[in-house]
Amino acid sequence: MRKLFVMLVLSLIPLLLLPQFVAAKDWYFKPSQNNQPSTTEPEYESLLKKYHSVWIGNTKEKDIYLTFDCGYENGYTDDILDVLKQKKVPATFFVTGHFIMDQSQLVQRMVKEGHIIGNHSWGHPDLSKISNEKYKIELEKLKQAYTELTGRTDMVYLRPPRGTFSERALKLGEQEGYTTVFWSFAYQDWLRDQQKGGDYAYKSIMRRVHPGAIMLLHSVSKDNADALGRVIDDLRKQGYHFRSLDYLMAHQATPSFVW
């Protein structure tokens, strides 16, 4: 019986080493009080640093990086783009295959108005649990659609769907030429049937925003669209500057840069 058990365990080892059996990690940050920078687990920070991924900017500078996840359209992205254009604020939009095929005019407008388009995968799978081959297909298919639509090849930022990742996934992303981008601020804004109004969005953002924040917002939120202009104006009054992810990456070598 003991010999049979040992043989069974040994037979399972190759299976457990398959990509889909590698333990996934769910990204999360720990908000701080009084607009102090968020923190996360040292293990996560170490992994992200190893594979040149980011989740927060320089916490000694009052810079903010707006990022939007776009899985599908809910009627508010044009409003968000209107505000960004009026306020002259750059943003990064992480899009899926569905969004780029269904909302090609919006993607073209984003590019025309100077925003960055990031890769959110083609079909929004858990990138930590699919094979290496499938992983590469998910990213390449989205990038090809982006290039065919815009004529550009500058898709270099990746956001894992649902924030689920693994060391293997981070490594693959880097090998494919991407900087994986997580976030240091977010709130539950993506539930269409639980929108609570622009004031709620405004207070949620203003309560937790902090220097160096990479903000995750969802373009399906009416609350975000309603609050965005006011958020930008009032944060600028507090001395904040809205920067692009390109700016963030260009200033990584600054001695005061804090992860």
Query: With contact defined as beta carbons under 8 Å apart, do 93 and 68 qualify?
Result: yes
Query: With contact defined as beta carbons under 8 Å apart, do 254 and 58 qualify?
Result: yes
pLDDT-flagged residues of the chain (< 70)? 1-23, 253-259
Task: Tell me the CB-side half-sphere exposure of residue 59, using CA atoms within 13 A.
Answer: 15
For position 28, what pLDDT does the model report?
87
User: Phi and psi dihedrals of 166, rounded to 5?
Assistant: -150, 170
Sign of CA dihedral 79, 85, 90, 94: positive
For position 63, what pLDDT does the model report?
98
Closest by CA position to 176, among listed 126, 124, 141: 141
Just list the catalytic residues: 69, 218
Burial code of 185-215, b = ≥16 C-beta within 10 A, e = fewer? Answer: bbbebbeeeebeebeebbebbeebbbbbbbb
pTM, two decimals, is 0.89
Q: Where are the domains of the chain?
A: 24-250
For position 194, what pLDDT does the model report?
87
**Tokens (6 digits) for 31:** 């908000």
The CATH superfamily holding the domain 24-250 is Glycoside hydrolase/deacetylase (3.20.20.370)
For position 6, what pLDDT does the model report?
37
